Every structure is written in structure tokens, then in C-alpha cells.
Amino acid sequence: MPSKVLYIDLSRRRFWVEDRRKFFEEWIGGSGVAIKLLEEECPKNVNPLEPENPIIFAIGPFTSFYPIASKTVAMFKSPLTGNLGESHCGGRSALAIRMAGYGAIVIKGASETPVYLAIHGEKTYFREGSAIWNMANSYTVGRILRDREPGAGARTIMRIGRAGEKLISYACVVTETYRHFGRLGLGAVFGGKKLKAIVISGRKSLPLADSKAYREVYKEIFDALLASPSMKKYHELGTSMNVNPLNEIKALPTRNLKKANFEEAEKISGEAFAKDFLGKRLACAHCPVSCIHLAALRTPYDLEPYFYKTKMICYDYETIYALGSMIGVSDPKELLKLLDEVEALGLDAISTGVALAWATEAQEKGLISTKETNGLHLKWSEAETYLKAIKLLVNQVNDFYKALGKGVEYASSIYGGKDFALAFGGNEMPGYHTGLAAHLGFLIGSRHSHLDCAGYSIDQKIIASRKKLTIEELTEELINEEAWRQILSSLVICFFARGIYKPELIIKAFKPLGMEFTEDSLKAIGKKILKAKYEFKVREGFNLGELRIPERILQTSAPAGEISKESIIKALKLVEEKLTAL
């Protein structure tokens, strides 16, 4: 089990290591360890952009031991919501942290001048970051650090773009190019610390308690992963396989959720991208699925005939929803250009798309004019205008773009249009308008994400079976799912494999590592982690009774049935009782 925590103080430019074995034994790793470290390190009511806000990275006991346990958990106080920020990222981050010898990394303080961290095994170096600060493109930063630092092939290169430097509340951290700590503004927390990038590498060996049993369990998991039909789909089309099915059931948010089906969805579907643009498929380290899909976009130079550049651009379901249907963009080439810009600047694609969608509707309704937008007429489907708006947003050219850079919750509090500002707990909505369970999940989940309690999945079951659940049953299911997901995100397993990593398999996989759990003990830890997160959120001012419910979700019909405000309010009360009683 990983047990060492690397502490880095950017203010004093010092680092030290502590062995926290008992801590890891009690809280497993990943989300469990991260929330407890955050509790320890984050002062109450701290401003997320102040030096005192810590960044915690944590990996799990299965990292580098079992396939698809390939993610790293980041925790921090979110500049977007002002509360618990939790973001997960794949790529090579988890393997690199494990091979450097750590179970978690805590970054405190802030540097006075731009800096990047190079963590190579037991050593941490504070390197000069001024030359790569304010660079226009996050790809370039990656390219420079690739050449300057050792560890090719098993290292991670995390960096922010200009959005993070400009403290945009939903700036992301790009890792290895194409993977991200996407949500809740970790990029802005990096920016607040003048931390441009982190490179991590190492070659620590990882002994086993029982190598024969380990190889057997490994094979069982590996074979199950390869045999799984859902894994095959993710390999072939990637998560964008979801575009057509969600559109067919009328759950694909379109034009700021004025509708839930997009008449041109087929053009931006996973099938269409795979057929016309797919250039490469990639995997996170130690994952046999390789769901990462890169489109090859060939664009001509303006002035030179027969002269082209070909760019590789990553696409996923959520990014297609946010910068496609949500703003009405159906031309796949234009959509890819938007994705490329967002990647270069280091923005969260979901929040950016939802922010642009809100701004478009606000302009349609006359709440803002071209004075606010700096001359732009935002119109559904007009990607060129959106590209310009993204640049103005990151450059923070006026008060409107400064407000928009703080998310739609904030922008709508200044300019109006709250009823169509699609944020839940301050976080812009993901791409699922399946029904009540999905939206409840966004409201009550600890990271206000569809990955918390998978409400969309409950809705889909309701749609398929036509069997409604009572509010009591529904909230019970949501909380049970989220409690169990705390175990998966503490191990830290990609949620795609949740159907394979069932309790019995997890218990079996722990044994060759020298650890014993029962199903009950695992479930109890899951609840304990969920409780710790909820308590942290309440400590920082979260109140389920005060959550804003965007009217738009009640107005646009959802496939699992109409959603009423009363049912949401009733559910929130029940959830509060259940979470308090955990």
C-alpha cells in the first residue's frame, strides 16, 4: 500500500516526506485519503485563490498493481463553487506518482514568481517558470518540458494554460496533452500559486505479498475487462458513443437546454467522428481499453495553396455536448476547432460550453448587448463567433467576460437570466437531461457531477422499465451509489470498470497485496468517506436547503418524466436527513 505523502511548500520552496501508513490503511487512498488531507491542510473559509488553499493529489492501493486503476484524485477548495473541489484525471499521472514512491502529494503556499515543479523520485526541484508563463498554448508548454525533464514514457506532465494564469474559475489542468483535471477550477488554483506545471517521474519497485496469487487475480481482471461489451464500445467509439442514444431518447441538452434533442446530432456523433476524423486511439497508463479518441483535423493555411497543417484533437462525449449541441454547433470541423482552442488555453470544456450557451440566450433575451460582449453577436451554431468569445473570455477584456469567467451562477447574479443559468451547486451541468435522478445527482453529489451518483443511469433504467421510483427509493439509490463510488474513487478505478470491480473482486484483489477487507467493511468505509466530504462541505457553507434549482430543467421535458420543483425539494430534505445520519 502506498503510504508516503510528499509535502511541498511553494512559499518557502521546501519539501519533505511523511509516512502516513495508518492513515492510508484507514482511508484506503484516492478520494478517502484526499478528503482527510484536505481537512487537515485547508483552513476554514479560505479564499480558494489564496496561498493557504492546498492542492492534494492522491492515488490508490491498486495503482500500478491492477489494470484500469489509472486515475489520480485532486482535491482543493474550488474557485468555481467556493466549496469542495474534486477532480479526477487519467493519463500517466497515477502511475508516475506511484513510481516516484508516493501515495499522495500536498502542495501548499504560493510562489512569488512563476515556477514549475520537477518531482523525480525522492527529489523535488523548484524550477524557473517565467519563460513558460503567459505562453499562448498549453501544447507548447508540454513540448518544452518534455525536452527539459527526464522520465519519458512513464512520467506525467501537468500544466495550466492561460486560463489558469488568468484565474478563470473553471480553468483546468492539462496532463500529457488530452487528459485533464477538468472540473471545478484546479487550473486557477495552480495559477493563484504561480505554479505553471508539475513533472513527476520515478522508478521505485513495488514488492508483493504473494506474487503467484497476484498474477492469477490480475489475469482474471484483465480477461474480464477485455470480454466486457461496454469496454469494447468505449474502445471503438470512445465516450462519444453516447451522443446518438442520448439524442434518441431526448436527453441531449441542446441550445442551453431549450430542447433535449439536437436535429443534427448525427453529424457530431461518435460514429461520424470515428468514420471521418479518427486519427488515433490512446490509453491511460495500465489500461487495456484505450477510450481516448483523437481526431485528425487537416486545415489549410490562409495564404499558401496546397499547404496544410494536421492537428490531433481529443474529443469525448461531454466535450461534444458542451461545445456542440449545447451551443448548436453541428459542423464537426468547427466543433474540433473549438475543442482545440479550449485545450490550448486550458479551460474546462463543459463549463465553457455552458457559459457560452447562457451568454447566447442572455443576448437573445436582451439581458446583455454587444457592449457587454465586446461587439460579438453570439448566435447558436456560429462557431467562429464562439471562438472569438473564448479568446475574449480568457483575456478578461471587460467586466462581462470577467463575470463569465466566474461561471454562470455568478454571471447570472449580475446580469439576470438565473432561470436558464445551468449550474448546480455552482458547477455547470454535464450533458444528461435524462430526468429527475440525473439533476438530483448534480445537486447533491459531492462534486456536483454526473459521476457522483450516476442519476442518469437510474433515469435510464426508469425509461427502459417504465417503472417509477418513489422519491424515498430514488434518494436511497443515489446515496448508496455515491457511497460505493467513494470506494472506487479511493482505489482509484476508472468508473467505466465499475461493473467489473465488484466488492468480491476487490476483496480478492487486495489479498496478494497483503490486505484483508470484507464487503461490509468496504461499504462502511465508503459511507465514512462520503460523510467526511459532506461535513467538509457543510463546514465551508454548503446547505442542501439553499441550493438553487434552475427553472429550465423543469421547463424542458425529460425522457424519465416531468420534473417538478416540489419533488426536488422533497428529495433534498430526504438527502439531508440521510447524509446527516451517515
Partner 1 sequence: MIACNRRFGEAGVAKSSIHIKSAGGIERGFIVLVCRACVDPPCMKVCPTDALSKRVGGGVILNSSKCVGCKLCVNACTIGAIFWDEENEKPVICVHCGYCVNYCPYNVIKMEEIS
Q: Which positions lie near partner 1, rule CB under 8 A? A: 64-65, 95, 98-99, 139, 142-143, 146, 152-154, 176-178, 203-208, 211, 214-215, 218, 222, 226, 280, 282, 286, 288, 290, 294, 311-312
Neighbours of 240 (CB within 10 A): 26
Distances in whole angstroms, Cα of residue 334 to Cα of each of 161, 264, 355: 21, 14, 18
β-pairing, 72-77 with 55-58?
antiparallel
Cα–Cα nearest to 491, from 100, 59, 23: 59
Dihedral (Cα; 571, 577, 579, 582), 10-degree rounding? -140
- The answer to whether 568 and 439 have CB atoms below 8 angstroms apart is yes
Which residues are registered as beta bridge partners of 278?
295
Q: How far apart are CA 554 and CA 122, in angstroms?
A: 54
Q: What are phi and psi of 366, to 5 degrees?
A: 80, 10
Closest distance to partner 1 from the beta carbon of 228 (Å): 12
Q: Which of 31, 49, 85, 29 is nearest to 447 (CA)?
A: 85
CA 86 centroid distance within chain: 8
Contact of 342 with 373, CB cutoff 8 Å: no
Grid cell digits, residue 32: 478517502
Q: What are phi and psi of 312, to 5 degrees?
A: -100, 125
Nearer to partner 1, 131 or 208 (CB): 208
Q: Name the DSSP letter for residue 124.
A: E
Q: What are the b/e assignments for 154-164, b being 16+ CB within 10 Å?
A: bbbbbbbbbbb
Residue 431, all three cell numbers: 450533458
> Tell me, what amino acid is at 408?
V
Q: Dihedrals φ, ψ of 55, to 5°?
A: -110, 125
Strand partners, 88: 73
Cell of 69: 486503476
Q: Which residue shows C-alpha cell 479518441?
A: 293
CA gyration radius for the chain? 22
SS3 315: strand
Residue 399 to residues 48, 50, 215, 395, 412, Cα–Cα distance (Å) = 21, 22, 59, 11, 13
Answer whether 314's CB lies under 8 Å from 335's CB. Answer: no
